[in-house]
Amino acid sequence: MTGAFLQPEEATAAEAIAAIADELAVFDDWMERYQYIIELGRKLPPFPDVWADDAHRVPGCQSRVWMEAEVREGRLYFAGASDAAIVSGLVALLLRVYSGRTPGEIGATDPVFLKDLGLLEALSTNRGNGIAAMARKVRERAAVA
């Protein structure tokens, strides 16, 4: 199932955050940014149906979100999916930042970047709470890795 886990595009979480900021800055309004985020979600690796269960579900999300993680060579790789298009895109953004990083780098990368990029303000309260829950789950998993 290794193909389900997102491979990092950038060398570090900080570089991933900077790249996402640059990509979002291209768009003039939030409707265009939402479309871009939805496209990112469509490009996520296929999430195995066997993981779409309560054991993999992220609590605190309005939409259904599932995540799985595995440790390879001291790095944590994440897979994720959602039943909502925009949320799949938010999963893709989070995984781009956190997947393929060491537990230490994940722990050191505060999810405040979501606020800095304007994502939390642009989302409904429920979606904002949901992405914060996903970030918490990633960091909790890193803490026990």
Residue range 12-47, pLDDT digits in tens: 999 999 999 999 999 999 899 999 999 999 999 999
State which residues form the domain around 19.
Answer: 2-144
Q: Is the pLDDT of residue 115 over 80?
A: yes
Among candidates 62, 76, 42, which has minimal Cα distance to 131?
62
Domain count, the chain: 1
Q: Is the pLDDT of residue 6 over 80?
A: yes
CATH number at residue 30: 3.90.1010.10
Rg (CA), the chain: 14
Query: What is the longest distance spanned by two Cα atoms in the chain?
Result: 41
61 catalytically annotated: yes
Which amino acid does the sequence have at 82? S
Confidence label for 2 from pLDDT (cuts 50, 70 and 90): low
Confirm if 68 and 112 have CB atoms less than 8 A apart: no
Selected catalytic residue, list 4, 37, 44, 61: 61
